[in-house]
Chain A
């Protein structure tokens, strides 16, 4: 620690150059902070404990095929199955066809199967009582300034209403919130309406449901229950495919393209550039300090001490820029999310990102410092003092 002023002074010997290098490091880690959050949130999709205890059952043929509503009672009979809900895709848009909202027609118990989100008991009761009632996610409600008691007109891009138009009208009876306040759940951006109202109002559905969601008591039993559910419809005209929510999400993420790979590729390119840039800065910094380093050795600093000083300088440089950059990412993420009114959902810079980021900073600092430090260590005092 007593050498800190020495390292600090060396770092800011060339203020402009150090500043510019710091800005590049900062930018790289700002980007890292934002992208790594995206990467980890994709990697964590469906990894919730509740997700392992929920089975999704859809048509084996294609996700557009629907299933008979009568299947609910039979699934409920499968040993290990706790609660069975079902849902239909509604495909709603608000005001403008471009304002798509996640909207599903669901069985009344659908919301109960998702312990990650909650509505107040009063709102839950109101939903049961109100045929045209909908539960809306708090994120969505905040975006469009909806509140309980409002009428909610939605256009379906698939289903006509009984009057033949695609305009539907609902009543907002409750707000869906995350059970853990800092959590982000996709149902916070969704609209849930009654399947019964949907089914009765549109002439084409006739008792069909899009998919079933079954909660199981024991995640370890999920596979067995899933097979049992699929066995119910084997060799029928509506064969099913049942997966845990985790598995379903994972296959969806695969289809979206490997976000993690893309992020890693981008960051790889950024860090490679950073390596060259910072490496050059450090090499210059040490080269122009040759005589100063020689003086340190003359005074009695060991070669190893000089090596350590240069390495510390390099690590400090990257840490300084990197921590500011990551800090900025942590600060800007929520501001950008808030400013976008829910359109953009920047994940916060989590502890894992910080740990990985700081680890990267130290690694880059060492990597970039090792060659100049080695040179400083091997420096011949007599030659350096004579300017040779």
Chain B
């Protein structure tokens, strides 16, 4: 299979006042379509920064990022937002659900940006909730769900518009072992059965085992590990 993501000479510099911090240097990285990649590394090594660049949430200082043949580093803010809506699903450590909305409504959220009718939106959200095993919790608010359940709702939200790419920033960082395994198993299913390309940042070596392979970041540079 070809590469979904091609990163060339990527650099990211944050400017804080007069101080410049180069967070990522000369990153070169290809991620195959259908891959499940784990990104590890010490705190502050630039994992989140790299993930945000891949997901089109942040803009690169230098270098290029191609996703599915699209040079996303060349897109303006508006075009980038549209691109994200169509191509990427996001999963965060703290779920980031809308506290006032039911699970169903949370999952429907990305579909508001499409031309789908309300009944189609409802139907697709139900399917996504079924997929993550929470069909019976559709009407629950986030506060009425466990952490693991909330993260599964977040995953349903990430996949409801059927993106090719899922980016997950420490998706199990706030979960107990059992919930973490449920979430990781779900991600693996999405990767294997549904062909989603997944890039996941994690601190947990056990979580990384669910991925096809693991890359390490250290002080803004990629260090490829020998495949175990």
Contact = CB atoms under 8 A, between A and B. Distances in A.
Interface of A: 2-3, 5-6, 9-10, 12-13, 291-292, 294-303, 381-382, 385-386
Given A381-B57, A382-B58, A386-B48, A298 B105 contact: no
Nearest to B48: A386
Interface string B88-103: 0010100010111100
Given A9-B98, A299-B84, A300-B86, A382 B78 contact: no
B110 interface: yes
B100 A10 contact: yes
B113 A13 contact: no
Nearest to A5: B105
Contacts of B100: 9-10, 12-13
Given A6-B98, A292-B98, 12 more contacts: A9-B100, A9-B101, A12-B100, A13-B99, A291-B96, A292-B96, A292-B99, A298-B84, A300-B85, A300-B113, A301-B113, A386-B48
Contacts of B90: 298-299
Nearest to B101: A9
Interface in B77-130: 77-78, 81-82, 84-86, 90, 92, 96, 98-101, 105, 109-110, 112-113, 118
Contacts of B99: 13, 292
A297 B98 contact: no
Contacts of A3: 112
Interface centre among A5, A13, A303 (most CB of B within 10 A): A5
Nearest to B112: A2
A300 B158 CA distance: 11
Contacts of B118: 2
A84 to B, nearest CB: 72
Contacts of A303: 77-78, 81
B52 interface: yes
Interface residues of B, number: 26
Contacts of B98: 6, 9, 292, 295
Nearest to B163: A300
Interface in B156-183: 157
Interface centre among B82, B92, B118, by most chain A C-beta atoms within 10 angstroms, is: B92
A298 B86 contact: no
Interface in B54-91: 55, 57-58, 77-78, 81-82, 84-86, 90
Most B CB within 10 A of own CB, among A13, A291, A382:
A382
**Residue among A3, A10, A301 with the highest chain B CB neighbour number at 10 A:** A301
A3 B84 CA distance: 19
B78 A302 contact: yes
A381 B110 CA distance: 16
6 contacts: A5-B105, A13-B99, A299-B157, A300-B110, A302-B78, A303-B78
A170 B41 CA distance: 104
Contact of A299 (B52, B58, B85, B105): B85
